[in-house]
């Protein structure tokens, strides 16, 4: 069997790069592109050495098993030990997945129920690319199901050059959108925004339909507010046809870990009642406000 060294080297570099990148996505870790490339190059060179007359001890099973951890160290250190263990788990898991898929494709191409341990390069490349395409969808699904459900996050609301920071609960059951613009709605306690809203809001707004309309009329007379105002119909278990007063802020920003996700495509709805006992949170965050917008 002929083995082309240049193809072997490039193929291992690409596959190692994909596996290292995918492991970081699944573990929630980030690495600079040049560090990923350096780690992938180290793995490719180690694999290439298998074709050379090097000491057999370098390719003993324990060394071959532990070398991927060295590649992770090049790409991702320094990280906390639990984070490194997560990276290692996903690297070995995705490596096994790609290897199994490559063997399956090789057996399929050979029209056999089993495959030899020597697989063609295209089956490895296909398996690696398939993993790369699937990982973002898996990460997004896991993020929505695990990290967004009933999660307390800091939220900033800015309007007219002023801003306020409060605590929001990411509510996966919140599907309220502005009927005019289809932007996601952030429901906020009125008391949490008193410092940045005109007094016309706090004086007239009580949450009743008549008060909503009266407050909207008052605000419409103020400079710049006529284009910000929104009337938001809603339904709950206790009220089938409700109406909330809303407005378009300058921005809404949600802190998710160290990441600040900001968007100008949002609507703030004012709630006169307390959302949580003991003021645990003052806003209900639409899930789209965490997964969309621009990160900073």
More confident residue, 119 or 94: 94
Contact 47, 124 (CB under 8 A): no
Contact 285, 188 (CB under 8 A): no
Contacts 24+ apart (CB under 8 A), 43-52: 43/12, 43/13, 43/16, 43/67, 43/68, 43/71, 44/9, 44/10, 44/12, 44/13, 44/16, 45/9, 47/8, 47/9, 47/12, 48/5, 48/8, 48/9, 48/12, 51/3, 51/5, 51/8
CA pair distance 231, 139, nearest whole angstrom: 35
Over the stretch 228-283, which tens digit does the pLDDT of each residue have? 888 888 766 455 567 888 899 999 999 877 788 899 999 999 888 888 776 778 99
Classify the C-alpha dihedral 65-70-75-80 as positive or negative: positive
Classify the C-alpha dihedral 58-59-64-67 as positive or negative: positive
pLDDT for 112 equals: 43
pLDDT for 116 equals: 43
Give buried/exposed letters for 88-117 (b at 16+ CB in 10 A, else e).
bebbbebbebbbebbbebbbeeeeeeebee
Confidence of residue 149 (pLDDT cuts 50, 70, 90): very low
Question: 131 is written with which tokens?
Answer: 């993993």
Q: What is the rounded average pLDDT for all residues in the chain?
A: 77
Among the ranges given (119-128, 166-175, 212-221), the one the predictor scored with the smallest mean pLDDT? 119-128
Confidence of residue 97 (pLDDT cuts 50, 70, 90): confident
The whole-model pTM stands at 0.49
Mean pLDDT across the stretch 166-185? 84
Residue 238 CA, distance from chain mean position: 34
Confidence of residue 148 (pLDDT cuts 50, 70, 90): very low
Q: Cα 180–227–161 angle (5° rounding)?
A: 120
Confidence of residue 85 (pLDDT cuts 50, 70, 90): confident
Mean pLDDT across the stretch 22-27? 79
Mean pLDDT across the stretch 184-203? 85
* Residue 40 CB coordination number (10 Å): 23
How would you class 35 by CB atoms within 10 Å of its CB: exposed for 0-12, middle for 13-18, buried for 19 or more? middle
Strands 267-271 and 185-189, bridge-based pairing: parallel
């Amino acid at each position: 069997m002929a083995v082309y060294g240049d193809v072997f080297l490039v193929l291992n570099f690409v596959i190692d790069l994909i596996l290292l990148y995918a492991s970081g996505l699944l573990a929630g870790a980030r690495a600079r592109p040049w560090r990923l490339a350096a780690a992938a190059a180290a793995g490719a060179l180690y694999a290439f050495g298998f074709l050379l007359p090097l000491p057999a001890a370098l390719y003993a099973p324990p060394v071959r098993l532990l070398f991927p951890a060295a590649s992770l160290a090049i790409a991702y250190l320094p990280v906390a030990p639990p984070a490194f263990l997560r990276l290692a788990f996903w690297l070995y898991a995705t490596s096994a997945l790609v290897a199994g898929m490559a063997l399956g494709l090789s057996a399929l191409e050979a029209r056999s129920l089993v495959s030899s341990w020597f697989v063609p390069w295209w089956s490895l490349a296909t398996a690696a690319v398939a993993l790369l395409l699937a990982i973002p969808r898996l990460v997004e699904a896991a993020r929505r199901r695990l990290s967004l459900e009933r999660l307390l996050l800091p939220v900033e609301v800015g309007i007219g050059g002023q801003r306020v920071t409060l605590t929001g609960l990411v509510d996966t059951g919140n599907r309220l959108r502005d009927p005019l613009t289809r932007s996601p709605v952030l429901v906020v306690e009125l008391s949490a925004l008193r410092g940045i809203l005109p007094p016309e809001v706090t004086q007239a707004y009580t949450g009743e339909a008549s008060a909503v309309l009266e407050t909207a009329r008052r605000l419409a007379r103020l400079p710049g507010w006529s284009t910000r105002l929104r009337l938001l119909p809603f339904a709950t278990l206790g009220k089938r046809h409700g109406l909330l007063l809303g407005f378009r802020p300058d921005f809404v920003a949600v802190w998710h870990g160290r990441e600040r996700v900001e968007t100008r495509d949002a609507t703030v709805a004012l709630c006169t009642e307390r959302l949580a006992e003991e003021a645990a949170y003052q806003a209900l965050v639409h899930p789209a406000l965490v997964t969309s917008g621009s990160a900073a």
